[in-house]
Amino acid sequence: MNKTIYVGMTADILHPGLINIINEGAKYGHLMVGLLTDKAIAAHKRLPFLTYEQRKLIVENIKGVAEVVPQEEWSYVSNLLKYKPDYIIHGDDWKTGPSCNERAKVFEVMKQLGGEVIEIPYTKGINSSGLDKEIKAIGTTPEVRLKSLRRLIAAKPIVRILEAHNGLCGLIIEHVEVNDEKGHKAFDGMWSSSLTDSTSKGKPDIEAVDLTTRLQDLNNILECTTKPIIYDGDTGGKVEHFVFTVRTLERLGISAVIIEDKIGLKKNSLFGTEAVQIQDSIEGFCAKILAGKNAQVTKDFMIIARIESLIAGKSMSDALERAFAYVEAGADGIMIHSKNKSGDDIKEFCAEFRKHNANTPIVVVPTTYDHIAEEELHSWGINVVIYANHMLRSAYPAMVEVARTILENGRAQEVRNLCMPIKEILELVPGTK
């Protein structure tokens, strides 16, 4: 009887090591490739450059591959139990390092199944993680970047976005990561905030900084990053203007624009009812959403409708009525905003919205209810969390402290420890040397 041999892979970047495993595996019989889905990968590393379908098409056509099945989890175990292969083949590099626990589990399962684990010498000098770094260095294209937000929303329990108002913020968001017992954590993308874009230019957040000006910083961010960007489109302006904004953003590879349902002179939402702000009519805002949807060229660009009812002191039912109407008008997602410190109103909104709508992504900006952690937001049915202003808010007090200390001392020695070392700043941006 033909024996089955299982091999798990991402296959985003094909390299001789993979071909070697396939060739070796095929010698044992029917080679089944467990191809990791975006979901399986997203919790552990960046999303693959290619979509699952694209990777599947490639792997299916490699000589020696008999069958491709989805591997929905990072661990091989559930697929081994499902398909009960006679063998599993893996490079011997998993004997040490982060994969050695997985190796132990695989040995146990294969023993239980009466199968065997085949380990082959790993192809020196080439592995997917090393190539991963290289692909980051290659960068991205507007099309790939644009699509990546929808893919992340589909693949991750919650998508984590941080504000960026210049290229340096972009670099931090692109590269900072934490590896702890809960696994690998990084930011998934960037928020181009009207508040911090305006503030960083010394202007008020009242739509006074126009699109062209904001695009200058955005362009710097695009140049040094690969992650998706969500653009804060304020009110979207006049319908006749919004259609151009959509096209411009889409052409640059921005993934989404969020527009808020206000008209007239916009003031920042965190003023709540302290500032006079007028909410648009449902019909008026739906017309703007629809015009934007009709203007976009790709099917991937997202227009997310931001509901200001709770900010404006209106009722939950007003917020919900608007949410359903905006989705009906074509909105690809809902952002529900609040300046309530408890987060209870957001939780209630999500519960009610999800009773009637299971899939439309919900976006939140937990600036005032910042004690609620991502896991809990996810449990409420939220898909995207935006940390909307924290890069600017953290930089400002640090800069003021340095300025004041120099004045007090008449020299800069006392701020030395408040500053990054010269060596570090010279090495921060590749190519400076």
CB atoms within 10 A of CB 342: 12
C-alpha–C-alpha distance, residues 186 and 393, integer Å: 20
- Taking residues 362 to 381 in sequence order and writing x for each that binds ligand SPV by CB under 6 A, - otherwise, the string is ---x-x--------------
Q: Extract the tokens encoding 302.
A: 């997202």
Q: Which does 200 bind (CB under 5 to 8 A by kind): Mg ion, ligand SPV, none?
A: none
Q: How far is the CB of 318 from ligand SPV (least distance, A)?
A: 18
Q: Which residues pair with 231 in a beta bridge?
A: 192, 257
35 near ligand SPV (CB under 6 A): no
C-alpha–C-alpha distance, residues 256 and 252, integer Å: 11
Return the number of the residue (12 or 260) whose C-beta is nearest Mg ion. 260
Check: CB of residue 152 under 8 Å from CB of residue 188: yes
Instruction: Report the residue from 193, 199, 235, 360 that binds ligand SPV according to the rule CB under 6 A.
Output: 193
Q: For 392-416, give the DSSP string.
A: HHHHHHHHHHHHHHHHHHTSSGGGG
269 near ligand SPV (CB under 6 A): yes
385 near ligand SPV (CB under 6 A): no
- In angstroms, the Cα distances linking 60 to 21, 37, 50, 57, 171 are 15, 15, 15, 5, 37
Residue-wise burial string across 344-366, b where 16 or more C-beta atoms lie within 10 A, e elsewhere: ebbbebbeebeeeeeebbbbbbb
334 near ligand SPV (CB under 6 A): no
Q: Which does 174 bind (CB under 5 to 8 A by kind): Mg ion, ligand SPV, none?
A: none
Return the number of the residue (140 or 193) whose C-beta is nearest ligand SPV. 193
From the candidates 86, 205, 280, 332, give the one annotated as an active-site residue: 205
**Contact set with Mg ion (CB under 5 A):** 194-195, 232
Instruction: Report the residue from 173, 222, 270, 302 that binds ligand SPV according to the rule CB under 6 A.
Output: 270
Q: How far is the CB of 287 from ligand SPV (least distance, A)?
A: 22
Indicate if 205 belongs to the active site. yes
Q: Which does 148 bind (CB under 5 to 8 A by kind): Mg ion, ligand SPV, none?
A: none
* CB-neighbour burial class of residue 163 (10 A; exposed 0-12, middle 13-18, buried 19+): buried
32 near ligand SPV (CB under 6 A): no
C-alpha–C-alpha distance, residues 295 and 245, integer Å: 9
| Three-state secondary structure call for residue 123 | coil
Return the number of the residue (11 or 257) whose C-beta is nearest Mg ion. 257
Binding site for ligand SPV (CB under 6 A): 193-195, 232, 268-270, 365, 367, 388-389
List active site positions: 205
